[in-house]
Amino acid sequence: MSTEKFELIAPCHFGLEAVLKREILDLGYEISKVEDGKVTFLADAQGIADANVFLRTTERILLKVAEVKAETFDELFEATKALPWERYIPQDGKFWVAKANSVKSKLFSPSDIQSIMKKAIVERLKGVYNVSWFPEDGASFPIRVAFMKDVATIGIDTSGVSLHKRGYRQMTVKAPITETLASALIMLTPWKKDRSLVDPFCGSGTFPIEAAMMAADMAPGMNRSFLAEDWKHVVPRRCWYNAVEEAQDRVNLKIETDIQGYDIDAEALKAARANAKMAGVDSLIHFQQRPVKEFHHPKPYGFIITNPPYGERLEEKAALPQLYSEIGESYRGLDKWSMYLITSYDKAESDIGRKADKNRKIYNGMLKTYFYQFLGPKPPKRSQSQEKKEGTIE
C-alpha cells in the first residue's frame, strides 16, 4: 500500500497560501490545487508522515476522501455511503464527523450534516464488514467536511491536536500569536539565520522560538505525536520512523545566531524562557526585560518581526498612539534595519511616522490584521573569501 498516492489537504491562514505552497514544494510533493485558506497536494504514505513532522505553516493534514455534490440530505447520505470508507477505517476504528462547515450551500446545519454522514458511513461499513455493530475501540478517524456552493470536500484528519501545538508552549500570556502564523510571517520576510532578529514585544516567545527552530533546522513536529501513527494499514510505522530520524539528523544547534526577545512584562519573559527551553532552542535566543523605547542594536541590516499590542480592550487603546510612536522612534535609530509587524491597529503607519513599503491583509482567526512591511536596504553581497575569514562558511 505504500506506493499508493493520496490527495492531502493542508489548511492555513487566509492570505498565507503561497508560503505553505513553497514549503510543500520544498518537501518534494506536487501541488494539485491552491484555494483560499488551503493547499491540496499529492503524496504517498511517507508524505503523510513528512507533512505532519516538517510543515511549519499548516494547521493539520487531512487525507482527502472525496468531493461530492449534495443539495439535499438524501443526496448527501447516498453520496457518502458510496465512498470506499473501508480503505481507511478498519472494523474496530473509531470514526465520527468531528467538524462540518458550510458556505453558500443549501445544506448548512453542521449538526445535521454530521449525523447524516455518520449514519451513511455506518451503513457502508456494515455492508462491507458484515456486522451490525461497531466496537469503535481502535484507532481514531475524525472526519471533517467543508461545503462550498453545494460541493462537500471530505477529509480524515491525520494530525489530531492542531499542528500549531508543537509541544513547547507550556506557558502562554494573553493573546499569543499561533506558532503556525508566526512561522509563516517569518517566512514572508527575507530573514536568514545569519541576520539579527529582534521581537520587542515577544510575549511568551513565539516569534523568537520559531525563528530559532528554523535557524537550527528543527522540524516543528519532531517532538509530538499524530493520530495517523495508529493507522498502520494506511501509513506503515516505518514512515514515521523515517520522518523523525531525518528530522533528528537535520538539527544543528552549533550555529551562531543573534535572535532576541524583549518584553516589559517579567511574567511573559519567564514564560518565554521556559518555552524556549522546552523547544530545545534556549541557547540560541537572548531574552531581556526592556521597553520598546529602550531598544537599540549596534549591528546593521537586522530585522524586527513583532506582534505589538492591538488595543483590543478600551483602556489599552488610549496607550496605542504613544506606543506606536515609540516603535517608530526606536526603528529610526537602527542602522539599515527592516521592520515587519502584524497588527489590527489602523493608525499604525501614521503613529510610527512612516508609510509601510508593503502591507498584506491576514486573518488571525476572525480578526482582520495587517502585516506591515518596512523594508531596509539589502546588505552588500559578501565575497567567499570574506566569509571564510569570518568563519561563516563551514
Give residue-wise pLDDT tens across range 339-359. 999 999 999 999 999 999 999
Full-model pTM: 0.93
Residue with cell 488571525: 364
Residue 169 confidence (pLDDT): 87
Q: Which residue segments constitute the domains of the chain, with CATH numbers given?
A: 6-157 (3.30.2130.30), 179-218+244-390 (3.40.50.150)
Residue pair 285/260 in contact by the 8 Å Cβ criterion: yes
Q: Which pLDDT score is estimated for 384?
A: 57
Q: Which residues of the chain fall below pLDDT 50?
A: 1-2, 390-394
Per-residue 3-state assignment (H helix, E strand, C coil) for 263-315: ECCHHHHHHHHHHHHHHCCHHHEEEEECCHHHCCCCCCCCEEEECCCCCCCHH
Distance of alpha carbon 302 from alpha carbon 195, whole angstroms? 6
Q: How far apart are CA 325 and CA 345, in angstroms?
A: 13
Which pLDDT score, from 0 to 100, does residue 303 have?
A: 98
Q: How many CA atoms lie within 13 A of 258 on its CB side?
A: 13
Q: CA-based diameter of the chain, in Å?
A: 74
Rg over alpha carbons for the chain, rounded to the nearest Å, is 23
Q: If we measure between CA atoms, which residue out of 336, 369, 373 comes closest to residue 354?
A: 373
Q: How far is CA 332 from CA 192, 280, 297, 337, in A?
A: 22, 34, 11, 9
339-370 b/e with 16+ CB inside 10 Å = b?
A: bbbbbebeebbebbeeebeebeebebeeeebb
Q: What is the pLDDT of residue 367?
A: 85
